[in-house]
Amino acid sequence: MTRLVLASSSPARLALLRSSGIDPEIVLPDADEEALTLAARQKNPELRAEQLVGMLAKAKAESVLTNTSTHGALILGGDSALEFQGQILGKPHEPEVAIRRWLDLSGNQGVLHSGHYLIDNRFPTNPVGSSMVSSTKVFFSKLSEQEIRDYVATGEPLKVAGAFTIDGLGGAFIDRIEGDSHTVVGLSLKVLRELAAGFGVHYPSFWR
C-alpha cells in the first residue's frame, strides 16, 4: 500500500478520502494562508483564483516536508476558493461576512477552484512535486434572508471556501453544478489519480 499524507486540516477532504477507501495520515500544514495570499496579491494585483489555490496548495504540502513522518510517503496539499463576479472568495470566518456573501450568491453562480499539489517524498533527499487545479461551476439557489441567516447560524459556512458546502447542510442550497462534484468538496479524486500516475503510482495502491 502506498502511504498518503494529507497536509490539510479540512474535515471534508479527510472524509472524502476515507469514503473513497483511502486512510491518509494527517500532518497539519504550517502555512499562513492570509499572509501568503496578501503577499501574492501585492506581487500580482491581477492574481487569478486558479493561481492562488495552486500556490497555497503547494505551500501547504511543502510546509510538512521537514516532518520525518512524511518520509516514504506521497504528500497532498489542497486549497479552494470561489471565483464570483471577479472576486476571489475564501473562508468568511465572521457571520456578518458570510451573510453578506450569501445575499450576493443567492440566485447567482460562481466557479469553485480547488488546487492540488502532490509531492513524491518516497526518496526524501530528492522530493518531487506536481500541481493541478480543477474547476467546477456552481449554481446557487434563490434563498430567503431567513434561510441565509439560519444557515450562517449553524457555523458551517464560516470555515469553508466561498461560505458553502455541497456535502453538508449547504447542499440544499445548490441548484446544480457543472463539473466534478469532488472539486466542490475541495479534493478531486480524478486529479489525485492523475497526479499519482505521473509519479508511477498505481491509484488503487492507496486503498486500505
Alpha-carbon torsion, ordered 26, 30, 34, 36, to 10 deg: -120
CA neighbor of 58 nearest in space, from 111, 126, 115, 10: 115
Mutual angle of helices 33-43 and 49-63, in 10-degree steps: 140
- 116, with CB counted inside 10 A (0-12, 13-18, 19+), is buried
What is the enclosing helix (H) or strand (E) of 120? strand 109-121
In the 8-state DSSP scheme, what is residue 186?
T
CA neighbor of 152 nearest in space, from 105, 86, 184: 105
Neighbours of 195 (CB within 10 A): 23
Cell matching residue 168: 453538508
- Residue 79 known to be catalytic: yes
Q: Of the listed 23, 32, 79, 120, which one is catalytic? A: 79
Query: For residue 10, which phi and psi values (nearest 5 degrees)?
Result: -75, 120
Residues with catalytic annotation?
79
